[in-house]
Amino acid sequence: MRIEEDCVGKMEVPEDALYGIHTLRAAGNFPITKEMVHPDLIESYIQIKKAAAKTNCEAQKLDVKKCDAIIQACDELLSSGDQSGFITPAIQGGAGTSTNMNTNEVIANMAMKLRPKVFIHPNDDVNQAQSTNDTYPTAGKMAMLKLMPNLLNEIERLVATFEELSRKFKNTIKLGRTQLQDAVPTTYGKSFHAYASLFKRDLRRIKTASEELKTISMGGTAIGTGMNASKYYQEHIVKNINKCSGMNLKSDNDLIDAVQNTDHFVTFSAALKTLAVDLSKVSNDLRLLASGPQSGLNELHLPKRQAGSSIMPNKINPVIPEVVNQVAFEIIGFDATVTAASEAGQLELNAFEPIMFKSILTSEEHLTRAIKTLIDHCLTDIEVNKEKCADDVRKSAVTATILSPELGYVRTTKIIKESLKEDKNVKDILISKHILSKDKIDELFSPKHLVNG
Is 309 in the active site? yes
Q: What is the mean pLDDT of residues 212-217?
A: 97
d(CA 86, CA 69): 19
On whether the CB atoms of residues 24 and 90 are closer than 8 A, the answer is no
Render pLDDT for 97-118 as a digit per residue (tens, 0 to 9). 999 999 999 999 999 999 999 9
Q: Is the Cα torsion angle 161, 163, 166, 168 positive or negative in sign?
A: negative
Q: What is the mean pLDDT of residues 292-303?
A: 94
Q: By C-alpha distance, which of 154, 237, 236 is closest to 199?
A: 154
d(CA 21, CA 36): 17
Q: By C-alpha distance, which of 144, 158, 160, 375 is closest to 272?
A: 144
d(CA 179, CA 81): 53
Which residue type occupies 81?
A: G
pLDDT at site 447: 85
CA distances from 28 to 17, 92, 391 (A): 15, 11, 66
Cis peptide before 14 (omega within 30 of 0): no
**Residue 173 main-chain phi, psi, to 5 deg:** -75, 150
Render pLDDT for 372-417 as a digit per residue (tens, 0 to 9). 999 999 999 999 999 999 999 988 888 878 888 988 999 988 888 8
Which residue type occupies 240?
A: N
**Strands 181-187 and 173-178, how do they pair?**
antiparallel
Q: Torsion-angle region of residue 81: left (phi > 0), alpha (psi -120 to 50) or beta?
A: left
Q: What is the mean pLDDT of residues 183-198?
A: 96
148: CB partners within 8 A, 6+ apart: 206, 210, 364
- Name the pLDDT band for 453 (thresholds 50, 70, 90): low
Burial string for 138-176 (b: 16+ CB within 10 Å, else e) reads: bbbbbbbbbbbebbeebbebbbebbbebbeebeebbbbb
Q: What is the mean pLDDT of residues 126-131?
A: 98
The catalytically annotated residue of 309, 404, 437, 446 is 309
pLDDT at site 256: 96
pLDDT at 122 over 80: yes
Residue ranges of domains in the chain, CATH in brackets: 2-128 (1.10.275.10), 145-216+252-386 (1.20.200.10), 396-450 (1.10.40.30)
Which of helix, strand or coil describes residue 355?
A: helix
Query: How large a percentage of the chain has pLDDT more than 90?
Result: 82
pLDDT at site 299: 97
271: CB partners within 8 A, 6+ apart: 202, 205, 206, 208, 209, 210
Q: Torsion-angle region of residue 331: left (phi > 0), alpha (psi -120 to 50) or beta?
A: alpha
On whether the CB atoms of residues 190 and 180 are closer than 8 A, the answer is no
pLDDT at 79 over 90: yes
On whether the CB atoms of residues 397 and 420 are closer than 8 A, the answer is yes
Q: Where are the alpha helices (DSSP H) in 81-219?
A: 97-114, 132-168, 188-211
Which of helix, strand or coil describes residue 175?
A: strand
Mean pLDDT of the chain: 95
Q: By C-alpha distance, which of 135, 164, 106 is closest to 41?
A: 135
Contacts 24+ apart (CB under 8 A), 413-417: none
Q: Identify the bridge partners of residue 181 per DSSP, sorted by sequence position.
A: 178
Q: What is the mean pLDDT of residues 125-152?
A: 98
CA distances from 400 to 320, 396, 413, 429, 445 (A): 37, 8, 8, 11, 8
Which of helix, strand or coil describes residue 28?
A: helix
Terminal CA-to-CA distance of the chain, rounded, Å? Answer: 78
Greater confidence (144 vs 29) lies with 144
Query: How large a percentage of the chain has pLDDT more than 70?
Result: 100
* Number of neighbouring beta carbons within 10 Å of residue 412: 18
- Name the pLDDT band for 445 (thresholds 50, 70, 90): confident
* Number of neighbouring beta carbons within 10 Å of residue 325: 21
131-145, 224-238, 405-419: lowest mean pLDDT where? 405-419
Q: What is the mean pLDDT of residues 346-358?
A: 97
Which residue type occupies 51?
A: A
Q: By C-alpha distance, which of 437, 372, 356, 323 is closest to 41?
A: 356
108-117, 209-218, 262-271, 309-318: lowest mean pLDDT where? 309-318
